[in-house]
Amino acid sequence: MSSTKAPPTTGRINMLAIAAVALAAVAFSGIWFFGLGILATFAVGAGHVSLNQIKRKNEKGRSVAIVALVLGYGLATWALINVLTYIPVALQQMAN
Protein backbone atom coordinates (compact mmCIF):
# COMPACT_ATOMS: atom_id res chain seq x y z
CA MET A 1 0.00 0.00 0.00
CA SER A 2 1.41 3.31 -0.99
CA SER A 3 0.23 6.34 0.87
CA THR A 4 0.05 9.55 -1.06
CA LYS A 5 0.71 12.66 0.91
CA ALA A 6 -0.50 16.10 0.06
CA PRO A 7 2.24 18.43 -1.07
CA PRO A 8 3.50 20.69 1.70
CA THR A 9 1.89 24.08 2.04
CA THR A 10 3.70 27.03 0.59
CA GLY A 11 3.48 28.94 3.86
CA ARG A 12 1.82 31.88 2.13
CA ILE A 13 -1.62 33.10 3.02
CA ASN A 14 -3.84 33.55 0.00
CA MET A 15 -4.16 37.30 -0.57
CA LEU A 16 -7.59 36.99 -2.18
CA ALA A 17 -8.90 35.40 1.03
CA ILE A 18 -7.67 38.43 2.95
CA ALA A 19 -9.30 40.75 0.40
CA ALA A 20 -12.55 38.78 0.66
CA VAL A 21 -12.71 39.09 4.43
CA ALA A 22 -11.84 42.80 4.17
CA LEU A 23 -14.71 43.31 1.71
CA ALA A 24 -17.05 41.42 4.02
CA ALA A 25 -15.97 43.54 6.98
CA VAL A 26 -16.50 46.79 5.06
CA ALA A 27 -19.89 45.54 3.85
CA PHE A 28 -20.89 44.55 7.38
CA SER A 29 -19.84 47.84 8.94
CA GLY A 30 -21.04 49.99 6.07
CA ILE A 31 -24.47 48.44 5.63
CA TRP A 32 -25.81 50.39 8.60
CA PHE A 33 -24.54 53.78 7.49
CA PHE A 34 -23.63 53.95 3.83
CA GLY A 35 -25.53 51.15 2.11
CA LEU A 36 -22.36 49.25 1.28
CA GLY A 37 -24.11 45.89 1.58
CA ILE A 38 -23.54 45.28 -2.11
CA LEU A 39 -19.92 44.55 -1.25
CA ALA A 40 -21.15 41.30 0.32
CA THR A 41 -21.64 39.98 -3.22
CA PHE A 42 -18.00 40.65 -4.04
CA ALA A 43 -16.90 39.11 -0.74
CA VAL A 44 -18.76 35.91 -1.62
CA GLY A 45 -17.25 35.76 -5.09
CA ALA A 46 -13.74 36.44 -3.83
CA GLY A 47 -14.23 33.89 -1.05
CA HIS A 48 -15.16 31.13 -3.48
CA VAL A 49 -12.30 31.95 -5.85
CA SER A 50 -9.81 32.09 -2.99
CA LEU A 51 -10.93 28.68 -1.71
CA ASN A 52 -10.27 27.29 -5.17
CA GLN A 53 -6.83 28.94 -5.30
CA ILE A 54 -5.96 27.73 -1.81
CA LYS A 55 -6.77 24.16 -2.76
CA ARG A 56 -5.00 24.34 -6.11
CA LYS A 57 -1.85 26.13 -4.90
CA ASN A 58 -1.86 24.50 -1.45
CA GLU A 59 -1.80 27.85 0.35
CA LYS A 60 -2.99 28.88 3.79
CA GLY A 61 -6.02 31.03 4.51
CA ARG A 62 -8.91 28.58 4.18
CA SER A 63 -10.49 29.71 7.46
CA VAL A 64 -10.19 33.36 6.42
CA ALA A 65 -12.00 32.61 3.16
CA ILE A 66 -14.72 30.72 5.02
CA VAL A 67 -15.25 33.66 7.40
CA ALA A 68 -15.67 35.92 4.35
CA LEU A 69 -18.22 33.52 2.88
CA VAL A 70 -20.19 33.30 6.14
CA LEU A 71 -20.30 37.09 6.49
CA GLY A 72 -21.10 37.61 2.81
CA TYR A 73 -23.89 35.06 2.66
CA GLY A 74 -25.25 36.26 6.01
CA LEU A 75 -25.44 39.85 4.79
CA ALA A 76 -26.99 38.78 1.49
CA THR A 77 -29.65 36.76 3.33
CA TRP A 78 -30.37 39.64 5.69
CA ALA A 79 -30.72 42.04 2.75
CA LEU A 80 -33.06 39.64 0.91
CA ILE A 81 -35.28 39.29 3.98
CA ASN A 82 -35.42 43.07 4.33
CA VAL A 83 -36.44 43.52 0.70
CA LEU A 84 -39.07 40.79 0.91
CA THR A 85 -40.61 42.33 4.02
CA TYR A 86 -40.63 45.79 2.43
CA ILE A 87 -42.52 44.76 -0.73
CA PRO A 88 -45.98 44.41 0.91
CA VAL A 89 -45.54 47.76 2.67
CA ALA A 90 -44.62 49.45 -0.61
CA LEU A 91 -47.56 47.86 -2.43
CA GLN A 92 -49.97 48.96 0.28
CA GLN A 93 -48.66 52.53 0.12
CA MET A 94 -49.04 52.56 -3.66
CA ALA A 95 -52.67 51.38 -3.36
CA ASN A 96 -53.59 54.28 -1.05
Each residue of 68-84: pLDDT tens digit? 999 999 998 988 888 89
Residue 5: pLDDT over 80: no
CA distance 15 to 17: 5
Residue 63: pLDDT over 80: yes
Q: Which amino acid is at 5?
A: K
pLDDT at 44: 95
Q: Which residue has the higher pLDDT, 34 or 47?
A: 47
Q: Which amino acid is at 89?
A: V
CA distance 45 to 71: 12
CA distance 23 to 5: 34
Q: 72 and 40 in contact (C-beta within 8 Å)?
A: yes
Number of DSSP helices (H) and strands (E) in the chain, helices first: 3, 0
Lowest mean pLDDT among 4-13, 40-49, 76-85: 4-13
